[in-house]
Each structure stands twice: as C-alpha cells, then as structure tokens.
Structure 1
Amino acid sequence: MTGAAKPARRGRPGHDRAAIIRAGVELFNQQGYDATSVSDLTGRLGLTKSALYHHVDSKEQILQVALEDALGGLERALTDALDHPTAAERLSAIIRGAVRVLTARQPQVTLLLRLRGNSEIETAALARRRRFDHTVTGLVREAQSEGVVRSDLDAAVATRLIFGMINSVVEWYRPDGPIDPELLGEEILAVTLGGLQPRD
C-alpha cells in the first residue's frame, strides 16, 4: 500500500520573508526599482510567484519594508541625539548615529538615497527624509549659536555637506572589510566638525 503523496514544495527551501526582502533590495539597487519585475525576483530566488506572494504582498511591500528599516533607523538615531543637553553633543550624536545606521543597513539606505519619487511609497519616504534633514539643519543652527560651528556658513548647506560625506560611504564601505564602523563614525565626525569649527 502506498502512502499519501507529499505536497509539492513551493520554490527552494530556506527562503523566508527576510531573505526575500534582502534579495529584493539587492535587485532594486542593482537594476533600479522601476526596472525590477516580480519575475526578476522569483528568478533570483528560484521561487514561484505563489510562493513569493506567500511571504510578501507585492514588490511595493518589499520597497516599503526596506525604506522603513532605513528611515526608522535614522529617525531613532535622531531621537536619541536630541536627548543630549547641548547642540554640539546633539550634532555629534546624530553624525555618529547616522554612520552607524548606514553601515548596519547599507543596502536599505542605498535604496533610500536612490529614490526618484515615482510612487506614493517613494514620495512619502522622501518627505520623511526631508523632515530629518530639516531637523538636522536646526541642530547645525543651534551649534552655530553655541559658537561650535562657523556662523558664516549656511546651515542647510553645511547639513548637505555633512550628509554628502556620510552618504558617500554606501559606495565603498564593505561590512566584511577592515574598517570598524564605530571608528569610521569618529573619523567622519572629526573631518566634518573639524572643518566647520570657527576660525581663530
């Protein structure tokens, strides 16, 4: 007597929601979100579409989860920075915190930095990023009022320069490389704030 037939496996074993999101983010960064299809995702993972949809509702959900990971991390770092008593300490803390988030969530932050605002999800993420930048610009202005950042600099421009340096890390940082993320944060802090200090 033969036993009951076993149900067919859907796709390769070992793929969970987190793995699918990681693969989606990797593809979005490689070839662009708009240019990535669900077929690209299933091909990369070796899954059927039904197996993919067992874990995520759509490629839009993958984007949303990844952006929330990046923005949520940055916003929490900013909240923590705002707890410090002086503007200089708050500005230093958000620089360190942003570097920490970027190095820990490099693929997600890379995706955030490459958004074009072509969907509601992207537009909402860009609005949150602008609010983040606006708050950091306020910290720069406060640091100027405390005399720790040059007052002759435009605060918004200084903020863009600081985060231009931080964001450039996504292009060359390697998590398995020799650079310690905490040390990298201290080095970026030294270069940025050192260059922004008032002249004697």
Structure 2
Amino acid sequence: MPNPAPAAHTTSSKRGRPGYNQQSVLRIAVEVFNKHGYEAASMGILAGHLGISKSAIYHHVPSKEELLRLALEEALGGLEGILMLDGATTGAPDSRLEFVLRGTVAVLVEKLPFVTLLLRLRGNTEMERDALARRRAFDRTITGLVSAAQQDGSLRTDIAPGTITRLLFGTINSIVEWYKPGGSLSVQKLADDVIAMSFQGLRG
C-alpha cells in the first residue's frame, strides 16, 4: 500500500487567501471536476465557480493536478484505511468481509464527491493510472477475503471470488449515482441493506 502523502501536502498545512482555505477550494474543485469532467474543467472554470481569479487559486494549490491528487487521496486514503482496522484484520473471513463492506459504504457516503471522482477516472494520466492501481489493489484484498470465506465454508463456492467482488462493488459503487446524504435512508440502514441483499445470496 502506498505511503501516506507527505505532511507538506496535507490540507491543514496550506494557508491561502481570505475567504477560502485549501479544503474549501478542494471541495468546490471536486464538484467542478464531477460536473465538467477533470480534463475539461480548466482553472478558469474553477475560478468562475469560486468567484476569484485564477492567480488567487494558486495561493492554495500549485496546479490542477495537485487538486486531483488531494481529491483522490481523500477517497483512496479512506478506503485503504478500512483495511488497517482491527475488524478487517482479525476474526473469521466472512466477518472481516462484512466489516470492510460496511466501512466501504460509510466512506463512500462520507466522501461521496471524492469517490465519485475516483470511479469516473479514465486513466489518461500517470496520476490517474496510479489511483486506479490502488483501487485494483483494494479490490484484490476483498477478493482474498471472499476466497478465504469460501474455503472455510462461510460462502458458497460455485461463484468465482473475482466475480463476487465485481458484483459486490457494482452494487456499492452504484450508490454514488442515487444516494442523497441527509435523506431518510441513513448510512447504517444503507449498509444493512447492502449486506442483507449480498450475503443472503452468497451464503449457501
């Protein structure tokens, strides 16, 4: 797993012009990237959404690429962090799988715009390709948990572990297209529904 970003690049270490800080600029930038597409979203468009000049943006970040890096770290760092928690590393494989899936739903909702951006990457730049490689590494860890749960008899074995992983994340990733934070469906209930639907079909 890649090392955390250097402290010099963290959102709390950067000061900018009055009215915005790096985190607020980043949030708006991600909204713009998701609306227009990263490649089409110029610094001029971003400046228009912020109501400041392009040169003022550079008081917060050195480039559009750095905004993308920070945004992807929000998403990937959250997902990778789940795998380091006790619930993901100890216990029966099916319990660890459930823990990671619940955590993934929670991160997706908490960091919805950032995860949306991650899921829409096309791999056109080295940074995007690196991010996609980290995402695939996360998926491989889940596939390993699925396989371990199959081997200990917790999950059905007539479906390949990789297929199960793709189907699980096909369901979870679709949440970015329709879930509205703050609505009647809580994060806890959403995770419960995902687990109930998935595991009822996976347990023999």
Moved more, 102-111 or 41-50: 41-50
List gaps (5 residues or longer) in structure 1. 1-11
Specify which of 160, 164, 167 is matched with residue 166 of structure 2. Answer: 160
Specify which of 111, 115, 124 is matched with residue 130 of structure 2. Answer: 124
Q: How does 1:8-157 map to 2 (within 5 A)?
A: 13-80=18-85, 81-157=87-163
Give the number of aligned pairs: 188
1:149 is paired with a residue whose SS is: coil
Task: Encode CA deviations 1:134-167: one digit per residue, 9 max, x unaligned.
Answer: 1110000001011121101010010000011110
| d(CA) in 2 for partners of 1:22, 1:163 | 25
The answer to whether structure 1 residue 180 and structure 2 residue 186 are counterparts is yes
- What is the identity, as a one-letter code, of the residue corresponding to 1:120? E
Q: Which has the larger radius of gyration?
A: 1
TM-score normalised to structure 1 length? 0.91
| d(CA) in 1 for partners of 2:99, 2:142 | 11
- Which residue pairs with 1:5 in the alignment? none
Pairwise CA RMSD? 1.4
The answer to whether structure 1 residue 190 and structure 2 residue 200 are counterparts is no
- Which residue pairs with 1:3 in the alignment? none
Identity across matched positions, percent = 50
| d(CA) in 2 for partners of 1:79, 1:89 | 15
TM-score normalised to structure 2 length? 0.89
After TM superposition, which residue ranges in structure 1, 4 or more long, deviate above 3 angstroms? none
List gaps (5 residues or longer) in structure 2. 1-16
Q: Displacement of 1:114 after TM fit?
A: 0.3
Task: Encode CA deviations 1:102-160: one digit per residue, 9 max, x unaligned.
Answer: 00000000000000001111010000001000111000000101112110101001000
- Which residue pairs with 1:7 in the alignment? none
Q: Displacement of 1:178 after TM fit?
A: 1.1
Q: Displacement of 1:83 after TM fit?
A: 2.2
Q: Displacement of 1:13 after TM fit?
A: 5.0
Contact 1:140–1:155 (8 Å) recurs in 2: yes
